[in-house]
């Protein structure tokens, strides 16, 4: 018995990078796959149906079953069309993996409304549009279903020039929790992967990535979470990179302070440092490491005479 035998799985962003690896591995595991990809450039421009078509051709050449759909996940109609394509062709939807994403990088104080909206739309609404339409069918079908979304470590760490992207990725984690608690009674699960892999999206990180791997290192975890073998798992967030899989803690309050009277700014000031004891943001440490890596790359280029 293969991990995804007889299952119908939709993968958004299935034409490139991590989505492509997931679509191909899902088909290898026995799934019928809806490869959904708008075929756009990193900033969302120049849509093309070629990338989804190419992955479908690759799956079919290897003896698998797949159909392509090239539409924008950032609208309700776009998300619905993906689920309808699965229903029209295969008659059910067992899993949906929301991988599609774009980038519009800018410092907070320079970011335009359009740059904010477009990234929130594609990542967060593009996950909601698929989750919502898949869940409406999964809750009524035998066997429920498995939903998987993609976040990034920046959802919790913050990101210097990606306030839109980090906020969308944080919203996706919150959507995961809400979906997990609301849909458990219907046998529908939701989990999130925070990947790191060499793709066009990760190509321009200043100083390079400290830890990375290939898209094919991520897809086995997606296949596992889609399968019935993981049916007890819901509401989790995993980092997947290279040979490492880590689970995130469930966010919770860690320390409290109490007063007999109502708090005043002065009494808060007096107690907060010793009682609440703030932790420094991990990103401050990461920023120092990134600066050191960027400086080392620049020094190596200068000594090699390439700049």
Ligand X SMILES: NC(=O)c1ccc[n+]([C@@H]2O[C@H](COP(=O)([O-])OP(=O)(O)OC[C@H]3O[C@@H](n4cnc5c(N)ncnc54)[C@H](O)[C@@H]3O)[C@@H](O)[C@H]2O)c1
Binding site for ligand X (CB under 6 A): 12-13, 15-19, 37-40, 44, 51, 72-74, 99-102, 122, 126, 150, 152, 195-197, 199-202
In the set 38, 90, 131, 165, the catalytic residue is 165
Give the closest residue to 56 by CA, choosing from 17, 13, 6, 15: 15
In the set 152, 159, 190, 219, the catalytic residue is 152
Count of residues making up the chain = 307
From the CB of 42, what's the least distance to ligand X, in Å? 6
CA–CA separation, 285 vs 264, rounded Å?
33
129 a catalytic residue: no
From the CB of 269, what's the least distance to ligand X, in Å? 38
- Are 25 and 64 spatial neighbours (Cβ–Cβ below 8 Å)? no
CA–CA separation, 218 vs 245, rounded Å?
9
- Are 34 and 85 spatial neighbours (Cβ–Cβ below 8 Å)? yes
In the set 7, 159, 169, 238, the catalytic residue is 169
7 a catalytic residue: no
Q: Is the dihedral of CA 288, 161, 99, 207 positive or negative?
A: negative
From the CB of 44, what's the least distance to ligand X, in Å? 6
32 a catalytic residue: no
Question: Of all residues in this chain, which one has the CB nearest to ligand X in the complex?
Answer: 17
From the CB of 202, what's the least distance to ligand X, in Å? 3
Half-sphere exposure of 281 (CA within 13 A, CB side): 13
Q: Which is nearer to ligand X, 30 or 39 (CB)?
A: 39
From the CB of 161, what's the least distance to ligand X, in Å? 15
Rounded to 5 degrees, what are φ and ψ at 92?
-160, 170
- Are 216 and 25 spatial neighbours (Cβ–Cβ below 8 Å)? yes
Q: Name the CA radius of gyration of the chain, rounded.
A: 21
Q: Which residues are catalytic?
A: 152, 165, 169
């Amino acid at each position: 018995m293969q991990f995804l035998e007889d299952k119908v799985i939709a993968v958004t962003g299935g034409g490139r990078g991590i989505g492509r690896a997931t679509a191909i591995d899902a088909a290898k595991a026995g799934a019928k796959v809806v490869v959904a990809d708008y075929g756009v450039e990193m900033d969302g421009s120049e849509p093309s149906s070629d990338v989804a078509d190419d992955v479908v051709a690759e799956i079919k050449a290897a003896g698998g079953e797949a159909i392509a759909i090239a539409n924008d996940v950032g609208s309700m109609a776009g998300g619905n069309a993906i689920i309808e394509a699965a229903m029209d062709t295969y008659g059910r939807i067992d899993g949906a993996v929301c991988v599609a994403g774009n980038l519009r990088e800018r410092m907070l104080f320079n970011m335009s409304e359009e740059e904010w909206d477009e990234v929130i739309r594609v990542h967060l609404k593009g996950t909601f549009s698929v989750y919502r339409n898949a869940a409406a069918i999964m809750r009524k079908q035998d066997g429920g279903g498995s939903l998987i979304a993609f976040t990034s470590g920046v959802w919790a760490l913050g990101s210097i020039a990606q306030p839109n992207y980090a906020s969308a990725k944080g919203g996706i984690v919150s959507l995961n929790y809400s979906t997990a608690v609301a849909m458990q009674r219907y046998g529908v699960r939701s989990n999130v992967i925070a990947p790191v892999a060499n793709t066009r999206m990760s190509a321009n990180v200043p100083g390079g990535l400290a830890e990375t791997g290939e898209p094919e290192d991520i897809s086995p975890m997606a296949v596992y979470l889609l399968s019935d073998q993981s049916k007890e798992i819901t509401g989790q967030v995993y980092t997947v990179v290279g040979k490492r899989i880590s689970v995130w803690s469930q966010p919770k309050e860690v320390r409290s302070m109490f007063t007999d009277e109502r708090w005043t700014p002065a009494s808060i000031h007096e107690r907060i440092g010793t009682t609440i004891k703030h932790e420094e943001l991990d990103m401050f440490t990461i920023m120092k490491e990134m600066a050191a890596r960027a400086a080392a790359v620049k020094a190596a280029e200068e000594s090699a005479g390439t700049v």
